[in-house]
Amino acid sequence: MYKPILVLFCLVFVAGLTAFDISQSYFSASYQGADVKLDWQIADEGGVSSYEVYRKKASETAYQKLTTVSINGSGNYTFLDDNLYKTDDQAQTISYKLVIHTNSSAYNLFANIQHSPTAVQRSWGSIKSMFK
């Protein structure tokens, strides 16, 4: 009974992503020293108005907004999350969400990274937080 509705929803969703070439995009998270570097590329930014980056730790129930990024016209972006090690010292998966705002709607891309800070990284995170 619900299968045709689900199939229709998926087709509409994929069609919407294809209209802005979101399907030809990527969003990734990787470590850069003690920080997490987020990279994304959008094949066609026509109609894109801005990007929002969110983070959620496994122990949290909701995503926390980190920043809003204006379009630069190149389609290539990088954001450095340098506040990850401030408070958490347990190994867990960190989820990042990229919200792509267009003139008519918003699309979400997700990336995960395993978070297992060393004592040095936790100390460095504490030192950096004191000077912010």
CATH of the domain at 22: 2.60.40.10
Token pair of 106 as six digits: 């918003």
Banded model confidence at residue 113, pLDDT cuts 50, 70, 90 = confident
| pLDDT tens per residue, range 21-33 | 565 688 999 988 8
Q: Tell which residue, 117, 12, 16, has the closest CA to residue 57.
A: 117
Average confidence (pLDDT) over 106-123: 72
- Count how many domains the chain has: 1
113, 81 in Cβ contact below 8 A?
A: no
Banded model confidence at residue 50, pLDDT cuts 50, 70, 90 = very high
Banded model confidence at residue 34, pLDDT cuts 50, 70, 90 = confident
Rounded Cα distance between 115 and 32, Å, is: 13
Token pair of 119 as six digits: 């004592």
On the question of pLDDT at 117 being above 50, the answer is yes
| pLDDT tens per residue, range 62-110 | 999 999 999 998 999 999 998 876 655 556 789 999 999 988 888 899 9
pTM score above 0.75: no
Rounded Cα distance between 58 and 32, Å, is: 21
Residue 16: HSE in the Cβ half-sphere, 13 Å Cα cutoff:
16
Which structural domain, as residue segments, surrounds residue 25? 3-130
